[in-house]
């Protein structure tokens, strides 16, 4: 996956777990928690979706890397670059 595809993969996950959100307005540098009121249960869902879709394990100590879209791409790109983008 390219960086852009990794970003798209994260967007796909967020749009699945928060179907009422308009993700067109997402600000990559801002905290996802603040923008969409994501709580710890939602972050667990993001982690579980990464495992389900890309067989990627995010250890609990790394959860903080998923704080914003930009930091998520930064963290996930090296780990997902050999994967294909899937829905």
Nearer Cβ to another protein, position 36 or 54?
36
Cβ at position 20, least distance to another protein in Å: 5
How many residues bind another protein (CB under 8 A)? The answer is 18
Cβ at position 3, least distance to another protein in Å: 27
Q: Taking CB under 8 A as the criterion, which residues in 44-83 touch another protein? A: 44-45, 47-48, 52, 57, 59-60
DSSP labels, 30-80: SBHHHHH---HHHHHHHHHHHHHHH-----GGGGGGGSBHHHHHHHHHHHH
Which phi and psi angles does 20 have, rounded to 5°? -90, -5
């Amino acid at each position: 996956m390219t960086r852009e595809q990794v970003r798209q993969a994260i967007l796909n996950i967020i749009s699945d777990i928060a179907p009422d959100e308009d993700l067109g307005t997402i600000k990559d540098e801002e905290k996802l928690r603040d923008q969409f009121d994501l709580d710890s249960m939602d972050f667990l869902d993001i982690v579980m979706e990464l495992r389900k879709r890309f067989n990627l394990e995010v250890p609990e100590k790394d959860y903080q890397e998923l704080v914003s879209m930009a930091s998520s791409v930064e963290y996930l790109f090296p780990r997902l670059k050999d994967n294909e983008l899937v829905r």
